[in-house]
Copies of this chain bind each other. A is one copy, B any other.
């Protein structure tokens, strides 16, 4: 990224390196961002007693302000620090500041003060930011979001001969696919979405083939480790059913699984409310109880909803869950890691390579990064789109962000009430994939496939996410739903320690030489400004019945895509590609009609 702020060291002023410049200027026309003074208080207003912890938190909060406005640290032109009990011989803010700035040197002022707004605050920092503006651009179509669905729309639109710009809040493509190779060596792991298959996920598979991406078959050789409601650990071969669960649990589990499978098969994914409206009156938990499910049946359903949606059975409409299963061919198919299943194939270089590949096929400079869209105003001529780094005039707008993020954009005229309700009531779950990296796939030598299913947590489910050909060996451990949110309250070090310990006690049970992980990855999508959760907004009872018909409906010149709007493989990469293609079709048809 080119520098956006010019820092100046005037002749004959004292050396201000490494933390500031005597003067800093914006580089041409820019949008100003100013933050409130950021203090060391968390989301709930809690303030750590330790001053250094407060300072770290204040800088983290400041970073959130930047991210939410489309600014980067390099866009900061000025910082002002207010410090209580300032001691020039013990400058506590210096180390966190140097880490925060990462080489950037804005102009700064340090103001020792007797106190701040609340007696417990010891440190406050405010930023003045200049985000450079590109000139107004006129295009046929603007797509909001460079995730897989948005990029697919843009690609199809450009292929049809229309001009199209993609405006992305993040500094990268891929949305909730994010593949990282932190230590180099081509050992990518997926912080987000990871799996596809090559049969009923035909669209994403075609794209993978077209882009020439290497695929890896998910390992399902060996036993699954099962942790029961009483924490007892047992094993069963992948593809069979856990045996000997407490209190007749096996039967309970099988019964509720079969019931869910058969009921979901009765639903019409093109009209779930007509075919299953009564199921939208209750939560999945209530439905399971109604169907006679016991403690194990409920625990088993919690495994499904946590790993699939990051929520509890009590937090979603039964209809929503069962229709979600049906969109992927049914509960069994969606949960399967084998041929035709939801988790059959992975990408050697991660799923983000789909988006990277698509982006490379767009015309140069099609994507504007770090530029969240702020407003979309429809006029007679088209849509005026305001984003952090520049404005657009377009004839059609395609919004590819999840419904709960619609609130970040000011639509004029406002979205219809039904769409607003979807945005307000659909809920994003908590899934954090803690990926433990190992020097070797030690679990395989002990007859394990790497899968854990735990009714107790903290890890709900784990899977082998290795790519053997490059020596990337890892277990992806799902912290999800209620038990995931509990872990989210801890520090990262504690959380990762808990995950490693849980794996040692379950997959490692009876194994004397379980090795230490050599590294880890995680990303808390629920804390991510531009995800706010994952993988797919989930409806509580009543929402589908009232508002489902509004999910895909265009709003004047504004169209809506995203995996949640797919009929098939909702919440999956396949759903993203299909919805993107659908959005492009809508737009191409509208533009074609306008020509006549």
Binding site for B on A (CB under 8 A): 6, 8-14, 16, 20-38, 41-45, 61, 64-70, 77-78, 80, 82, 86, 88, 106-119, 124, 126, 128, 130-131, 133, 374-375, 386, 388, 391, 527-529, 532
Contacts and interface: CB of A to CB of B under 8 A. Distances in A.
Contacts of A388: 25
Contacts of A118: 88
Contacts of A21: 36
26 contacts: A8-B65, A8-B68, A10-B68, A11-B64, A12-B43, A13-B43, A13-B64, A13-B65, A14-B44, A14-B45, A22-B38, A22-B68, A23-B33, A25-B32, A25-B34, A25-B69, A25-B131, A32-B128, A32-B130, A34-B128, A82-B109, A86-B117, A111-B113, A112-B113, A113-B113, A114-B114
A31 B374 CA distance: 20
Contact of A23 (B29, B34, B116, B532): B34
Contacts of A11: 64, 68, 527-529, 532
A386 B23 contact: no
Contacts of A34: 23-25, 77-78, 106-107, 128
A12 to B, nearest CB: 5
A128 B24 CA distance: 10
A13 B70 CA distance: 16
A117 B80 CA distance: 12
A106 B115 CA distance: 22
Nearest to A14: B45
Contacts of A29: 29, 31, 133
A31 B37 contact: no
B109 A126 contact: yes
Contacts of A20: 36
Given A374-B6, A386-B27, A109 B16 contact: no
B36 A31 contact: no
A20 B36 CA distance: 8
Contacts of A374: 6, 25, 27
Contacts of A25: 31-34, 69-70, 131, 374, 388
Given A69-B8, A117-B88, A126-B109, A35 B14 contact: no
A45 B16 CA distance: 10
A115 B126 CA distance: 19
A388 B11 CA distance: 17
Contacts of A528: 11
Nearest to A45: B14
Contacts of A32: 25-26, 30, 32, 77, 128, 130
A42 B12 CA distance: 8
Given A11-B68, A34-B128, 10 more contacts: A6-B375, A13-B65, A22-B38, A23-B34, A34-B77, A37-B111, A78-B128, A80-B109, A112-B115, A128-B128
Contacts of A30: 31-32
Nearest to A117: B110
A108 B28 contact: no
Ranked 7 nearest A-B pairs via Cβ: A37-B109, A10-B68, A34-B78, A23-B65, A36-B107, A10-B64, A25-B33
Contacts of A28: 31, 133, 386, 391
Contacts of A27: 31, 374, 386
A144 to B, nearest CB: 16
B86 A115 contact: yes
A65 B10 contact: yes
B114 A113 contact: yes
Contacts of A386: 6, 27-28
Nearest to A124: B109
A152 to B, nearest CB: 26
A31 B30 CA distance: 7
Contacts of A24: 33-34
B117 A69 contact: no
Which of A9, A23, A108, A115 has the most B CB atoms < 10 Å from its CB?
Answer: A23
Contacts of A117: 86, 88, 110, 112
A22 B39 CA distance: 11
Contacts of A82: 109, 111
Nearest to A11: B529
Contact of A12 (B16, B64, B114): B64
A527 to B, nearest CB: 6
A593 to B, nearest CB: 29
A196 B70 CA distance: 56
Contact of A68 (B23, B64, B130, B527): B23
Contacts of A9: 68
B114 A112 contact: yes
A13 B109 contact: no
Contact of A112 (B22, B116, B130): B116
